[in-house]
Chain A
Amino acid sequence: MNSSLAADQTTALVYGHSAEALHIICLIIFVFCGVKALFHKDLKKILIYSLVGLVVDVRSLLTIDSPFAFAAFLFHVFNFFVCIGMMYMAARALEKAVGSNSLDDMRGAGRVVPRIGIPLAAGLFAMMGLPPFATFFSKLVMVSAFIDAGGYVSPTLLAAGELLYFLVFIRVIKIVFLDRYKGSPLQDREWKNVAPLYGLLVFSVIGGLIPQIAVKPFLPLAGLMGAPGYGIPPLTISWPLPVLWLMAGAAAVYYFGRTSNKKAGLLSSLVCLSAMPTLLLSSAGVYGLSFAVLILFMATLQFFYSVSYMEHSHHQYRFYTCFLIMISGLLGVSLSQDIYSTFFFWEIMSGWIMYLALAHEEDAFSVQEATKYFIFNYLGAAFLVVGILIMYDVTGHWDYGKMAENFQYTERMAFAVLLLTIGFIMKAAQLPFRIDYWMHPKPAPTPISGYISSTVLKSGPFMMVKIFFIASLGATATTFLPLDLIKHVSGWIGALTIIMAASFAMLTNSMKRLLIFHTVSQLGYVIVGCSLMTSMGLAGGLLHFVNHMFFKNLLFLCAGAVFISTGTDKMDQLGGLGRKMPLTFICFMIGVLSISGVPLFSGFISKWIIYHAVMDTGYIGIAILSLFGSVLTLASFVKFMHSAFLGQMQDRVREAREASWYMLVPMSILAGLSVLLGIFPGMALMPINSMLVDFNLQPLQITISSVTDGVDSINMLFMLAALSLGMGVAGLLYFLTRTKTRKTHVFVCGVDDLTPEDSHVSSVNCYEDAKKIIKGAVKLMKKTIGLKGDYVER
């Protein structure tokens, strides 16, 4: 008896061990093939290594002997082989066309022979598991199979492992597609012998868009093997109408926009404008709807601006299409009702479409920077995948409402909420140790970098608030300690980011890099506000969310206008632009005043609410850091304003002309909004109040222009009256003295042979002492934490 008992134990032991051993072996092979593929020169060898690695990876799925895992295995393998076949055949065709199989000869060949290139690119993107292809769902199902098996360490490892293969494929895409082709002319293949490739491509895309049909055949198969009935999670995606409208618009722009940039730009801005009425039909709550309205409003301005910005660029229609699809992804994130389709649209928003839009200039620098940002986004998505699937596994529902109802407080759920918070905070680029990875790339065209900074990054805090709301709603019974801890820690991360990003902004010398740093620091404010989850805190955070959207986009558009008219992004080559571009200067000044929180401008009121909220909850440290942040912001913008717009006129600026009215109209609209929201914050606070009611926090007592918090209140109209009365008195003093005015030289002790270059204090020689201290802190950080540090100058 005991021998059989022993036998069982041994078999269990052996079986247990062998499963364990198998798992480890798979992991080793997986990593080995990945590294080999990463550094190999020959295209076919790279594909073979990655094939072996991923198959082994899928094999480890079988170590879990649940029918769900087996169904996931079958579904994944099927999709996997569809893509591998397509990619492999396309690669062989390309090698035959180019004549050699080493990667360097194929540099840029993909674009020269598009008929072979498209299936190859599609295969590569599919292998990465990005949305429009079926492998996106099969990977999702694979990870959920692991999670279903109980562990949550191995799925995270798996998701991180995917990053290794992502690097392999992105390297191939970068070389084959985004480079200049210098070789001899290639001969493209006719349609008929390329047709099977396109058949596979269409099959994979259909599987990606309508996953429930693709999954249906595999469910009974799983039933054959073990206990039937336990199926793969419902993969139905709900497509909101505005998203479809925008996608259709993107196709229209791609088709009609080829002729002229003006037509393409105006068409795409019309598409966004016309998408607004379709919002009325969608059933999203006021929170999602108001974000959607803002997205579309900003998009119309952005496209109207880029009509004249992209004038001397190339392939504008391709840029507009990718931009529109990215916006449709963002719209999907804001409107979708369940977390699953939110993640689907999230992947569309920060997937390869954004990569193509960011690398639009196609010079080496912009491709390299865009790749870095794409890698960072993919890593963020890995966190989200695991978090979402754990939440589904615990609550059993995708839909937000149902998820909140049967939300149980288990430590796995705490881990899921933590992962999701990390993913969303990473999207908002907090604690930027390597700004070129954390944030959207500098050399990308200004319309898209302005739009990402002001609107796309907001999806991070937007979703974070939703998750916090669900967690806090669900865990009413027991005080969900980890949630308070997560909220407190994310508050501290926000506060530290404010100081860190603003002090790095002091060091940098390029306009766009400075604005990027300030986006991160202002997002720190939003996260500090939102992570308090009190009514004041959330209201402050969301108001800053809206204000920041307007004044940050305004500043980016001004920087773009300056870039177009002077041709340089370096601040120290500019000087005295205020005279040549007065309107741009006025808009820029309004942006600076609102971002540094000067009263009467929009930045002030939201910061006021955030400070009160933080002080009410008693976090003194966060309050001090965030208050200090606004002075840092003002100091770095003084540097920007002085060295670019004021001071002596440099010769590069002599022939600068005022921006065209295509640029000026959006800028002045945003400037007007910044001032309007500064004086009448009620306009934005009314919808925010209704959101607070949705999040069942009690709304603020506000009027159109004042906010009251307990005993003290702030009334912006009163401030406007007081300040303008004071300025009126000063004006009266001016008016009393009708003395003559006379133009004279600037006083430099009478010396008259100084050239403007010598006498202009540019951004390089501003604040040496503050820079010394910040550089010292960065060196200290490198020594202690060992990170490569601020990466500021490029």
Chain B
Amino acid sequence: MLSRYAVKSPWLFRINTGSCNGCDVELATTALIPRYDVERLGCKYTGSPKHADIVLVTGPITARSESYLIRMLDEIPEPRVVVAIGICPISGGVYRDSYSIRGPLDKFVEVDVNVSGCPIRPQSILDGVAQAIGIWKEKIKIFHKA
């Protein structure tokens, strides 16, 4: 099966649902600065959800960004892995009881990996991506069986 090789090129896509950009800065550094080069794993940040394999969601899904999130999640092709980055998408984080957030990411999509931290360390992103690749491999097999 080709999934053994397909797994070697996970393309990442960032969705920011109202995050304080702390995690987004960490996500950016994992790709750009030479120290935490995510390209070693074959990863590449893509600009369009249609190319995405691993979706990195940050931010506590504020009320305004809820509809955008739903539309964009629908635009991501199927064998995909959703990774919640930082504590906000996982549980709402420090904003959990605020009136304007629409709750954790699980309500919108079936999340696969949670990387908690505020902000998360680039190394834990690499952990998260490595774990996501493992899950993604299973999903490819399931997707192609159906």
Interface residue ranges, A against B (CB under 8 Å)? 740, 742, 744-745, 747, 749-752
Contact = CB atoms under 8 A, between A and B. Distances in A.
B74 interface: yes
Nearest to A749: B68
Interface in B29-82: 48-50, 65, 67-72, 74-75, 77-78
Interface residues of B, number: 14
A780 B22 CA distance: 53
Interface in B69-126: 69-72, 74-75, 77-78
Contacts of B71: 745, 750, 752
10 contacts: A740-B78, A744-B75, A747-B72, A747-B75, A749-B72, A750-B65, A750-B70, A750-B72, A752-B68, A752-B71
A747 B67 contact: no
B74 A745 contact: yes
Contact of B69 (A744, A745, A750): A750
Nearest to A750: B68
B75 A745 contact: yes
A751 B48 CA distance: 14
Contacts of B67: 750, 752
Contacts of B49: 747
B16 to A, nearest CB: 10
B61 to A, nearest CB: 12
Contacts of A747: 48-50, 72, 75
Contacts of B48: 747
Nearest to B146: A740
Contacts of B68: 749-752
Contacts of A751: 68
A187 to B, nearest CB: 73
B39 to A, nearest CB: 23
Contacts of A742: 77-78
A757 B72 CA distance: 22
A745 to B, nearest CB: 6
A242 B77 CA distance: 65
A747 to B, nearest CB: 5
Nearest to A753: B67
Contacts of A740: 78
A744 B68 CA distance: 14
In the complex, the 3 A-B pairs of residues with the closest C-beta atoms, listed nearest first: A750-B68, A750-B72, A750-B71
A166 B67 CA distance: 69
Nearest to B69: A750
Nearest to B74: A744
A752 to B, nearest CB: 6
Nearest to B77: A742
A744 B71 CA distance: 9
A747 B74 CA distance: 10
A125 B77 CA distance: 71
Nearest to B75: A744
A617 to B, nearest CB: 50
Contacts of B70: 750
A745 B49 CA distance: 11
A740 B145 CA distance: 12
Nearest to B73: A750
A264 to B, nearest CB: 53
A752 B75 CA distance: 13
Nearest to B79: A739
Nearest to B144: A739
A410 B43 CA distance: 79
A742 B78 CA distance: 9
A749 B72 CA distance: 7
A121 B75 CA distance: 69
Nearest to B48: A747
A751 B64 CA distance: 11
A744 B49 CA distance: 11
